[in-house]
Structure 1
């Protein structure tokens, strides 16, 4: 019997009625891949506007009000900024995905807006500590939740099922899942909770686009596509996911020498998406 926190992750547009629980997350070693027995189905149609244009601005959910406080009803509704922001449907949409990424499936957050009650359910459990009393979302939490949010943007609004993997127990996968979802799409990473959002993706080797997230062109994509994951990330783990990804491509010199420019940032928490 596998431990309760070893859970596979599959993402699609429709939420299954037979989801299992995700519990506390823990980062894995780069070469460790937990073998699990079941899968989780979650929603992946976060809109670009909810992530970028309105929901994380001074006019809506403020970054500090979110990350410096617990992801609980009392903390959200007790803060004037967040309680006012949640009147905006796009702010509620973003919050629903934040809760889904951060908290395990057996937890939820209830809020009341203009007499109407909303329930936001946890699913993946990438930052369960955020939902505890006096919880906060530190850099590790912010990067995991950001990678999860970016991987779940859906440009076309189509029903696309994907498998998400990374070096965290909440992203563990089954053998059957890895066989079925064997086409690497891209890796996603960054931090959307900073004043100037950092939204990055790298392409799977041989890929030139990410239509699910970017549409027909990379020019106006919600993420900055920085090149091939083979160039900007460490070698893939045994589940195919790319760890430790950088925010810019290396400078190439003769004889195969590559050097990253100064001030290149490395993101330890990246999530790789796989398609059928």
Structure 2
């Protein structure tokens, strides 16, 4: 047992030494972002959530790989959407339009919108948060980082009953900076969401806020058949919390053990997501 403790301490020292430069660099790089998080911004990041499970997981907009690629590899604009027969055909499905409305809301800023013709009817999809504004530019596309930010936003806005509930979204993205008034009003942490719903096999994850053991807004009465895989406690699988209460760098599996120095060891093959959205309720 003593030998095991000594070995663990040696590992801790080795890890600390090898990571010191990286940690210092990360902390320095993140100072401005931290200051901005607690600064007063012009608009609160409080949005409605009513995205249904079926619209996210089973609709034609993201179910077909060719359609999904056509969506992310091209600009999120009217011309790009209408110019691709697969995507325009998928938008005949009401659930596809529901998902697209939330994609546009998450990705584009509030001063942008997209008009799409489906048959003889025109639908308008309005931007709101601006987590991936580059996607809406001419010749734009949605790479991995864009996909993960939009995915985290979509997962955070699923509602088990399809009801409109106001939620506060926070995370390490300028578009998610919050006001003091917002933080005071929405002071009940719920969960943090992350993954990528644009992959062939969707990756949908969440971790629980400190002290929570369920997510009824998203999962309903049980975690067993939840639309997201609830990995565990955010304090175990993510970094943080940050000063606004959000978590970052979340893993898709729980650590197998923690060294005495606090370093967590995760199973081989564990993925980490830098883009995550933490939700707070009133």
- The structural deviation recorded for 1:41 is 4.6
For 1:28 and 1:117, how far apart are their aligned partners in 2? Answer: 45
- Cross-structure match for 1:31: 34
For 1:58 and 1:165, how far apart are their aligned partners in 2? Answer: 31
2:241 touches 2:247 (CA, 8 Å); kept in 1? yes
Q: Are 1:268 and 2:274 matched, yes or no?
A: yes
Match of 2:234 among 224, 229, 247: 229
Residues 1:41 and 1:183: Cα distance change in structure 2 (over 3 Å): closer
Normalised TM-score (structure 1):
0.86
- Cross-structure match for 1:111: 116
For 1:269 and 1:206, how far apart are their aligned partners in 2? Answer: 23
Q: Are 1:73 and 2:55 matched, yes or no?
A: no
Over the aligned positions, Cα root-mean-square deviation in angstroms equals 1.9
Normalised TM-score (structure 2):
0.84
What secondary structure sits across from 2:124 in the alignment?
A: strand
For 1:236 and 1:133, how far apart are their aligned partners in 2? Answer: 36
For 2:248 and 2:107, how far apart are their aligned partners in 1? Answer: 19
1:33-72 alignment, distance < 5 Å:
33=37, 34-55=39-60, 56-58=62-64, 62-72=67-77
1:234 touches 1:244 (CA, 8 Å); kept in 2? yes
Q: How many aligned residue pairs are there?
A: 249
Match of 2:204 among 184, 188, 199: 199
- The structural deviation recorded for 1:162 is 1.3
1:140 touches 1:269 (CA, 8 Å); kept in 2? yes
Deviations 1:124-167 (A, max 9, x none): 00111101111000111000000000000000233422110001
Deviations 1:182-227 (A, max 9, x none): 1110000000001111100000111110000000000110000000
What secondary structure sits across from 1:196 in the alignment?
A: coil
- Cross-structure match for 2:138: 133
Match of 1:239 among 221, 244, 260: 244
Structure 1 alignment gaps of length 5 or more: 1-26
Larger Rg: 2
- Cross-structure match for 1:182: 187
Structure 2 alignment gaps of length 5 or more: 1-29
Question: Would you tell me which structure has more helix in proportion to its own residues?
Answer: 2
- Cross-structure match for 2:163: 158
For 1:208 and 1:30, how far apart are their aligned partners in 2? Answer: 30
For 2:192 and 2:268, how far apart are their aligned partners in 1? Answer: 22
